[in-house]
Structure 1
Amino acid sequence: MGAVETFFSATLILWLASVCFQILLNKRWELLSVIAGSVFYQTFNSIIRFFSSTQNDPLFVNTSVSLLHSFVTSTSVVFILFRELLTNGSSGMFDHSQLVENTWPWAFEALSFSCGYFAYDQWDMLRYRLYSGWIPSILVHHLVLLICFTLALYRNVTINYLILTLICELHSIFLHVRKVRRMAGFRNAKGTLVKIEWFLNWFTFFVARSAPHILITAKLIRDAHKFEKGIELPLALLGMAGMNLLNIGLGLDLFKAFKRERKSQQGNIHHHRE
């Protein structure tokens, strides 16, 4: 076991021990939804491995489960926001007190379930070594999310803020769809389908990922004086800084992939004409 695997495995074990401590000793039974999330996605992982012809490809299985998580989470977030909008209207919905101190109906459960997914995904990536580099960005990303999500759930604060950050899973749906399609062997999809896929990828990247995260960061900075002294604001700013940096990297990777795919399609067209 390498240093990277040892470190992140240890942090995951400590995280699990902390959650179990809260549930069993502090009787925080509502946190069982965190465990339920991990079990749910691990079960789906096992089902894919059992039925899929690509069961020997851990990355395909992992990405398929990630696609499910993106669909479940984005659907949950849209439902929570739409329900709140219909029930109480947009007035005051994004006030500081509403985002920090209150919790919209089903927001706690949705955040807990998603927190369970990130723990499952961290374990799956460590188990099959689905990462690269001395400081794997994906493992760091999951660790930061686990810390932020778990502390918020323990203290029951900033739940609504974190629900807003998860709107980015709308974009992740199309990221994972593209990846699953290519790993399943459908690399030469019809031109129109590829164009629609890329349009949705770019549209949701800006509308559901980049813009919301930038606006949330700006809101945190604007309302910084309204936070009480404690770890909430520094942790929130650190988490959003990390997300915005990852978004920049993701945008660059998307652009490179887009150029490669467009160049490949142009090459195929030229070949057929010859």
Structure 2
Amino acid sequence: MASENHRVQKKKATGAFFFFMATLIMWAVSVFFEILFNKRIELLPLVAGFSLYQIANWVCRKFISRDPILVNTCVSLLHSSLTSTSVVFILVKQLTSNGLDELFEHSQLVEATWPWAYSALCISCGYFAYDQLDMLLYGLYSGWIPSILLHHFILLGCFTLALYRNVTINYLILTLICELHSIFLHVRKVRRMAGLRDAKNKFVKIEWFFNMSTFVLARLLSHVLILVKLVKDAAKFEKGIELPLALFGMVGMNLLNVFLGIDLFNAFKKEITQHNIHES
């Protein structure tokens, strides 16, 4: 316990901690200013989302484990499950109501807001703020420029500005389809913490199949297609911050996806290698 506290305190003395904590505090001040002074009550689901996942964190600590990594993973699994379910629900509802052509029409993605999409985006944005705070408080990151903190920093910036201006909400809902893949990322983490690492185990094989297939379809391919769509429709955007912000966010997400894909491949190769060593 003492060594763990020393590790966390050491990370809190780094430049990464101060930078990302400062940006998170500024983000929180901005959100409360919009709600309290500009009467933006439609942003309340954002606060509700943060509170929901913080409560889930406390419940996990009380009834499951006090291990910060396990608690963070369990709450992240809850977020991925709820968000992917809500995104699929929203998309299916729009497909049945308006058809595929209208679903991906430029004005629909930029100017319109599908039913439940704004609230779903708020709740997810609240989760990213919660997760950023949890990782900072418990030192659940590594490196001079931690990719996970940078990932949340980009998402909070893009999501919050879109919510403030009420534009590109539907575009951002499409990006959240990647949470289908995040489910299996978190399942793998929980599975390994539970000690199940046998590459020949049927459950492990099924998990890796869904992990890889959802990575390609729900994360890698979907984000590439969204970036292609943005570039193709660039001339249809009005002058302003929307297009540059959207391009910046999607380029950043696609780069992070490449690094994630490399990590996934290396993790898969490592599990197979370890299994072969044990069998030999």
Q: TM-score, normalised by structure 2?
A: 0.93
In 2: Cα distance, 1:40 partner to 1:256 partner = 34
Contact 2:50 2:126 in 1 (8 A): yes
Counterpart of 1:151, as a letter, is L
In 1: Cα distance, 2:230 partner to 2:101 partner = 19
In 2: Cα distance, 1:192 partner to 1:265 partner = 14
Q: Is 1:9–2:21 an aligned residue pair?
A: yes
Q: Which residue of 2 aligns with 1:221?
A: 231
Q: CA deviation at 1:40?
A: 0.3
Q: Which residue of 2 aligns with 1:37?
A: 49
Q: CA deviation at 1:189?
A: 7.1
Q: Which residue of 1 aligns with 2:136?
A: 126
In 2: Cα distance, 1:264 partner to 1:32 partner = 48
Q: Is 1:201–2:201 an aligned residue pair?
A: no
Q: CA deviation at 1:4?
A: 1.5
Q: Secondary structure at the match of 1:135?
A: coil
In 1: Cα distance, 2:47 partner to 2:200 partner = 41
In 2: Cα distance, 1:190 partner to 1:269 partner = 11
Q: Secondary structure at the match of 1:90?
A: helix
Q: Which residue of 2 aligns with 1:113?
A: 123
Counterpart of 1:38, as a letter, is F
Q: Is 1:88–2:98 an aligned residue pair?
A: yes
In 2: Cα distance, 1:211 partner to 1:7 partner = 32
In 2: Cα distance, 1:266 partner to 1:211 partner = 32
Q: Is 1:46–2:41 an aligned residue pair?
A: no
Question: How many residues end up aligned between the 2 structures?
Answer: 268
Q: Gapped runs of 5+ residues in structure 1?
A: none
Q: Which residue of 1 aligns with 2:9?
A: none
In 2: Cα distance, 1:187 partner to 1:261 partner = 7
Q: CA deviation at 1:185?
A: 2.4
Counterpart of 2:201, as a letter, is G
User: Runs of 4+ in structure 1 displaced over 6 angstroms?
Assistant: none
Counterpart of 1:69, as a letter, is H
In 1: Cα distance, 2:14 partner to 2:267 partner = 31
Q: Which residue of 1 aligns with 2:5?
A: none
Structure 2 residue corresponding to 1:174, chosen from 177, 180, 184: 184
In 2: Cα distance, 1:185 partner to 1:266 partner = 17
In 2: Cα distance, 1:209 partner to 1:202 partner = 10
Q: CA deviation at 1:190?
A: 5.6
CA RMSD of aligned residues (A): 1.1
Q: CA deviation at 1:37?
A: 0.4
Counterpart of 1:259, as a letter, is K
Q: Is 1:239–2:241 an aligned residue pair?
A: no
Q: Deviations over 1:59-89 (max 9, x none)?
A: 1110111111100000000000001111122
Q: Secondary structure at the match of 1:236?
A: helix
Q: Which residue of 2 aligns with 1:138?
A: 148
Q: Is 1:183–2:216 an aligned residue pair?
A: no
In 2: Cα distance, 1:91 partner to 1:127 partner = 45
In 2: Cα distance, 1:91 partner to 1:174 partner = 31
In 2: Cα distance, 1:260 partner to 1:45 partner = 31
Q: Is 1:264–2:274 an aligned residue pair?
A: yes
In 1: Cα distance, 2:40 partner to 2:263 partner = 41
In 2: Cα distance, 1:214 partner to 1:104 partner = 22
In 1: Cα distance, 2:118 partner to 2:210 partner = 29
Q: Which residue of 2 aligns with 1:58?
A: 68
Counterpart of 2:165, as a letter, is R
Q: Gapped runs of 5+ residues in structure 2?
A: 1-12
Q: Is 1:254–2:272 an aligned residue pair?
A: no
Counterpart of 1:16, as a letter, is A
Counterpart of 2:17, as a letter, is E
Q: Deviations over 1:20-77 (max 9, x none)?
A: 011111111010100000000010000000011x31x211110111111100000000
In 2: Cα distance, 1:40 partner to 1:249 partner = 30
In 1: Cα distance, 2:44 partner to 2:109 partner = 23
In 2: Cα distance, 1:90 partner to 1:133 partner = 43
Q: State percent identity of aligned pairs.
A: 66
Q: CA deviation at 1:245?
A: 0.6
